[in-house]
Amino acid sequence: MFARWIGDVAIGSFAVTASVALAQPAPPAPAAVTDPFVTVIGEKPAKAEASDKVTDPKDPNFVRCRSEPVLNSRAQRVKVCRTNKEWAAASREGNRQTQELLNAGRPTQPSP
C-alpha cells in the first residue's frame, strides 16, 4: 500500500511539473541592434527615396554594404551599410588605434 501511494505521488508531481513547464512564457526576443548602420540579416532595410540614391561608386555619399561576423558566433553575420566617407573614417580610426597600440609597446629612444 505504501509503495502504491509513493507511485501516485510521483505521477502526480510529474503532472504538476509538466503543466508548470508548459505554462512558462516564451523567452524574450533578442535585443534590437541600436547602431543605425547595422542591419541584421533577415530584416528589411528602410527604403531610400529615388531622388536620394547615389549611383557613382566613387562618390563619398555612395552607400556600400558588407556582411561582417558577429563576435562569439561561428555562423551569424550582420549586414553593415555605410557611405564611402564613413568607411574611410572607420578605416583611418582603426589604423590610428593600431598604430597607437604598436607605439605603446616600443621602448623610447634615449635622447643624446
pTM (2 d.p.): 0.48
Does some domain include residue 36? yes
| Domain assignment of residue 60, yes or no | yes
Domain count, the chain: 1
Q: Give the domain range for residue 88.
A: 32-44+52-105
Q: Can you give the pLDDT at residue 70? A: 92
- Domain assignment present for 78: yes
HEC string of the chain equals CHHHHHHHHHHHHHHHHHHHHHCCCCCCCCCCCCCCCEEECCCCCCCCCHHHCCCCCCCCCCEEEEEEECCCCCCCEEEEEEEHHHHHHHHHHHHHHHHHHHHHHCCCCCCC
Domain annotation covers residue 3: no
User: Residue 38 falls within a domain, yes or no?
Assistant: yes
Provide the β-strand partners of residue 82: 64
Residue 51 has a pLDDT of 55
Neighbouring CB atoms inside 10 A of 81's CB total 15
Phi, psi of 45 (to 5 degrees): -70, 160
Per-residue pLDDT of the chain (112 residues; tens, 9 = 90+): 555 555 555 555 444 444 555 556 655 555 555 565 565 555 555 565 555 688 899 999 999 999 999 999 889 999 999 999 999 999 999 999 999 999 988 877 776 6
Cα separation, 77 vs 66, in Å, equals 10
10 is a domain residue? no
In a domain, 74, yes or no: yes
pLDDT at 36: 57
Maximum pairwise Cα distance, the chain: 99
Question: Is residue 68 situated within a structural domain?
Answer: yes
